[in-house]
Amino acid sequence: QITLKESGPTLVKPTQTLTLTCTFSGFSLSTSGVGVGWIRQPPGKALEWLALIYWDDDKRYSPSLKSRLTITKDTSKNQVVLTMTNMDPVDTATYYCARHYDILTGTFDYWGQGTLVTVSS
């Protein structure tokens, strides 16, 4: 059974750095072709892809947010960490992590439940 779960702060202040952790089970990020990505969704708005890391440590970022994002993995702990710097109220959203199926396809076959992050002073 494949599961993913996001964890991190529910409230951050403007200009702070957000660190989110995705802890997963049921698959290994050392398996060829496997990736884990982050997607966010502001309240009432559309999904927005943020970042993706593959089994071979290949990393891809949203072009519009690339300067603020860092994605890393700890294969031994089955975790993927996303950091986003210089948080702003417009970054308020539910942040999801999801397993990426196949390579360079945009196919996320398993999703976490999401975690709501509010940016406010």
Partner 1 sequence: QSVLTQPPSASGTPGQRVTISCSGSSSNIGSNTVNWYQQLPGTAPKLLIYSNNQRPSGVPDRFSGSKSGTSASLAISGLQSEDEADYYCAAWDDSLNGHVVFGGGTKLTVL
Residues 99, 18, 46, 100, Cα dihedral to 10°: -10
Among 24, 54, 55, 96, which residue sits at the site for partner 1 (rule: CB under 8 A)? 96
CB nearer to partner 1: pick between 29 and 52: 52
Interface mask (CB under 8 A) for partner 1, residues 51-90, using x and -?
-x-------xxxx---------------------------
What's the CA gap between 30 and 89, in Å, rounded? 36
Tokens of 40: 């966010």
What's the CA gap between 87 and 83, in Å, rounded? 10
What's the CA gap between 45 and 34, in Å, rounded? 28
Among 113, 116, 118, 120, which residue sits at the site for partner 1 (rule: CB under 8 A)? 113
Residues of the shown chain interacting with partner 1 in the complex, contacts defined by CB under 8 A: 37, 39, 46-49, 52, 60-63, 96, 98, 101, 104-109, 111-114
